[in-house]
Chains A and B, each alone.
Chain A
Amino acid sequence: MKKLSLAVLAASFAFVSHAFAAEAVGTNRVINEFPDGSISQEEGLENWQKFFEVASHPRCANCHVGADHKPMWSGPSFGDKARVHGMNINAGESRIGAETLLCSTCHVTLKEPDPNANSIAHAAPKVAMAWQLAPVEAEWFGKSSSYICNQLKDPTRNGERTIKEVAIHLDHDLILHWAWEPGGTREPAPHSLQETMDALMKWSAAGTPCPE
């Protein structure tokens, strides 16, 4: 019988970044550089807090889950109580659901970014890349500010990126942009994408201080 290769499928879907950006998150985003030491420790922590508000927001954290590979449903549109994603969804080690049910079976892939694609309330969000969970090392859901802070600056857990590269990743990765334009009745992540990138760069310039 015909056998589709898991590995081939995973390779073709996983972690593809597109270089173009969507309108509603702004098209004139820039990586603002701040000289090392130009931002105080205190201001650095304030900027970390800003980033943490984004990272811990349901639009981001729901898919930054741990090794059980189960995305979450939480946030005001799901009521008071966080629950695991309905339908017994498990994205597997592939983090794209290749072992059982592909994320992209429901979260279908758009040809091009389109903020109107998610206008139907409660429908499966979709973007112009394959829907997937964040890598398991980047577990955020339910984690403390301190934990996520130390994780984000640890190259073994952030995809071997400098903080600037993390900011560039935010700039380029379309699945992340969805957090600010989720559509339907979902509440967007706080701040703006540009502000979030700036917060990261300022936190970096302050020497990546972390809260206790």
Chain B
Amino acid sequence: MKLTVNGNTEEVNVEPDMPLLWVLRDELGITGVKYGCGIAQCGACTVHVDGVAVRSCQMRVGDLDGEVTTIEGLGSAEKLHIVQEAWIEHQVAQCGYCQSGQIMQAASFLEFNDDPTDEEIDTAMSANLCRCGTYPRIRTAIKTAAKNIREA
């Protein structure tokens, strides 16, 4: 079957019930998307489907309907996304394993709402688990990113 990932058309020969997460990681070698829990409890596997955040461990590839963007497609060291810039400015990451998912969730959220309140940030982001406890910095980085989006 065919799917579009980060603008590229990919052909994979897999079972339709294989989660998108494992198609990306093990079949296409796209490893910025992480396995953390497998049951939508941690958010480490978050990607965008047509710009909207989706937990790729829950999305069976046969149910996929849209173009996939992973953290690698959001931005790169040479061309950072505005959310990634904020993450670097505030040095959010510790172990960093959850941060691909955090950034993808935040980027999707800020597309809907580029002037969020603290309460809205806490609602949008609390399904993304960070075991290192970088939440104070994630909050600050989202506010910086929102400001930069508004001023862009």
- Asked if A and B touch directly (CB within 8 angstroms), the answer is yes
A residues apposed to B, CB below 8 Å: 1-4, 6, 86-90, 98-102, 104-111, 116-117, 120-124, 126
Across the A-B interface, the 9 shortest Cβ-Cβ residue pairs: A88-B126, A106-B40, A87-B127, A124-B40, A100-B124, A123-B39, A100-B123, A108-B58, A108-B59
B40 to chain A: which residues have CB within 8 Å?
106-107, 123-124
Which residue of the partner chain B has the closest CB to A92?
Answer: B123
A-B contact pairs, 28 of them (CB 8 A): A1-B152, A3-B111, A4-B52, A4-B111, A87-B127, A88-B123, A88-B127, A99-B120, A100-B109, A100-B120, A101-B105, A105-B55, A105-B105, A106-B40, A106-B55, A106-B127, A107-B58, A108-B55, A108-B59, A108-B63, A111-B62, A117-B60, A120-B38, A120-B39, A122-B39, A124-B39, A124-B58, A126-B58
Q: Write the B47-79 contact mask toward A (1 if CB under 8 angstroms, else 0).
A: 000011111001110110100000000000000
Majority SS at the chain B contact face: mixed
Measured between C-beta atoms, what is the minimum distance from B87 to chain A in Å? Answer: 18
Q: Is the CB of B65 within 8 A of A111?
A: yes
Which residue of the partner chain B has the closest CB to A86?
Answer: B41
A126 to chain B: which residues have CB within 8 Å?
58
Q: Given A4-B52, A89-B126, A105-B105, 9 other A-B contacts at CB below 8 A? A: A2-B111, A99-B113, A100-B109, A100-B124, A101-B105, A104-B54, A108-B63, A110-B60, A123-B40
B125 to chain A: which residues have CB within 8 Å?
101
B residues apposed to A, CB below 8 Å: 17, 38-41, 46, 51-55, 58-60, 62-63, 65, 105, 109, 111-114, 120, 122-127, 149, 152
Which residue of the partner chain A has the closest CB to B60?
Answer: A117
Which of A1, A89, A106, A107 is in CB contact (< 8 Å) with B149? A1
Q: Is the CB of A1 within 8 A of B38?
A: no
Q: Is the CB of A116 within 8 A of B63?
A: no
Q: Is the CB of B120 within 8 A of A111?
A: no
Measured between C-beta atoms, what is the minimum distance from A26 to chain B in Å? Answer: 24
B59 to chain A: which residues have CB within 8 Å?
108
- In Å, the complex CA distance between A1 and B55 comes to 24
Q: Is the CB of B51 within 8 A of A109?
A: no
Which residue of the partner chain A has the closest CB to B108?
Answer: A105
Which residue of the partner chain B has the closest CB to A126?
Answer: B58
A121 to chain B: which residues have CB within 8 Å?
39
Measured between C-beta atoms, what is the minimum distance from A112 to chain B in Å? Answer: 8
Which residue of the partner chain A has the closest CB to B121?
Answer: A100
B123 to chain A: which residues have CB within 8 Å?
88-90, 99-101
Q: Is the CB of A102 within 8 A of B52?
A: yes
A106 to chain B: which residues have CB within 8 Å?
40, 55, 58, 127
- In Å, the complex CA distance between A101 and B122 comes to 10
- In Å, the complex CA distance between A90 and B112 comes to 16
Which residue of the partner chain A has the closest CB to B149?
Answer: A1
